[in-house]
Amino acid sequence: MKEIKGPAIFLAQFAGDESPFNNFKDICRWASGLGFKGIQVPSWDGRFMDLEKAASSKDYCDELAGTAAEFGLTITELSTHLQGQLVAVHPAYDQMFDGFAAEHVRNNPQARTEWAVEQMKFAAKASQNLGLNAHASFSGALLWQTVYPWPQRPAGLVESGFKELANRWLPILDAFDEAGVDVCYELHPGEDLHDGVTFERFLEATGNHPRANILYDPSHFVLQQLDYLAFIDIYHERIKAFHVKDAEFTPNGRSGVYGGYQDWINRPGRFRSLGDGQTDFKAIFSKLTQYGFDGWAVLEWECCIKHPLDGAAEGAKFIQDHLIRPTEKAFDDFAGVGADEDFNKKLLGIK
């Protein structure tokens, strides 16, 4: 059996303009000091890396990996959550998502999409230069505004939406295939890929592309009231990355899954610091280990109550305590009688 690696931390939520969160070396020192062994790097944040340079320079990637290694850290994956979002944006969200793009393509949806696709291809090459085999991203969305079908969705709308989404992603997936890296979509509300059914639709539309895979994050499934353990049973062959993030769902007489446009702290469904929510991580780590997942357990910290620095410090220990060293033998080996075909035939009454 294979073993999950960790603990690791996604740096995006901790990036800031003050030390140690404003440059790569200092944030590596900080993460290492908390006990993390890996870092997932947001590729859009110039304080940590230059994505285009990483795509063209193996030496630069070696420098990044070397800096991390100084502090006992491994770069686990690169993330293009913001750029992936921009591969597919419905016009209803143009202005709200424009801030994710480089300034020179803002207010120009076509140029923004082309920029996002180029960024994704840079990420494929950068991941290859770093020796990585998995990459974290979002899918973007053309259909999310129709998620609750009122007015009724026209026949064929969903099929057309996924066909277009696949058309935009296929050249990117091919670039990642050439680089030997899996694209791991975080299944997330707001994305067209937000649950198992939508992932299957996309997979079918891409011709079951081998690089179209899943970043498993149970917190989004808690908030959707989806069975996050059965999900692993169904999709474990496509789970290639893992965000360890907690959540809770406590519906009441005034609000439920949709949240009533309330702030996070007042919503029935809330993200929580590790161990403060309702997610059964013992079962999750057991199932992933059972199915041979050997990627990184990466803390993505989000909580509307606890301070992030406390959440990070507690998160490193939480993940470490949940890692499972797989057994090398069966627990009842002591009672085994060995392999003997003649003996087995006698037991079965076979001559």
In terms of Cα–Cα distance, which of 168, 146, 141 is closest to 157?
A: 146
Q: How many domains does the chain have?
A: 1
Give burial (CB, 10 Å; 0-12/13-18/19+) of 158. Answer: middle
Average pLDDT over residues 162-170: 98
Q: Mean pLDDT across the stretch 35-42?
A: 98
Instruction: Tell me if the bond preceding 7 is cis, omega within 30° of 0.
Output: yes
SS3 290: helix
Helical pair 196-205 and 228-235, crossing angle rounded to 10 deg:
20
Please give the angle made by the CA atoms of 253, 258 and 260, to the nearest 5 degrees: 65
pLDDT confidence of residue 340: 82
Q: Percent of the chain having pLDDT more than 70?
A: 98
- Per-residue pLDDT tens digits for 265-279: 999 999 999 999 999
Determine the pLDDT at residue 344: 86
Contact between 11 and 49 (Cβ < 8 Å)? no
Instruction: Give me the chain's average pLDDT, please.
Output: 96
pLDDT value at residue 335: 63
Cα–Cα dist 121/169, whole Å: 10
Predicted TM-score (pTM) of the model is: 0.95
pLDDT band at 334 (very low <50, low <70, confident <90, very high): low
Which residues, 6+ apart, have CB-to-CB distance to 38 below 8 Å?
5, 6, 7, 8, 9, 73, 74, 75, 76, 296, 298
Mean of pLDDT values over 309-320? 98
Average pLDDT over residues 211-226: 98
Span 318-323, mean pLDDT? Answer: 98
Please say if the pLDDT value at position 341 is more than 90: no
CATH of residue 136's domain is 3.20.20.150
307: left (phi over 0), alpha (psi -120 to 50) or beta: beta
Whether the Cβ atoms of residue 85 and residue 97 lie closer than 8 Å to each other: yes
**Which residue matches tokens 């009533």?**
260
Closest CA to 129 of 176, 183, 71, 179: 179
Q: Mean per-residue pLDDT for 93-112?
A: 97
Q: At residue 336, does pLDDT exceed 80? A: no
Give the Cα separation of 246 and 303 in Å (integer).
Answer: 9
The predicted pLDDT at position 331 comes to 64
* pLDDT: which is higher, 61 or 335: 61
Residues across the chain:
351
pLDDT over threshold 80, residue 218: yes
Whether 345 has a pLDDT exceeding 90, the answer reads: no
Can you give the residue range of the structural domain that contains 230? 5-348
When pLDDT is averaged across residues 94-117 and rounded to a whole number, the result is 98
120-143 tens-digit pLDDT: 999 999 999 999 999 999 999 999
Residue 263's pLDDT band (boundaries 50, 70, 90)? very high
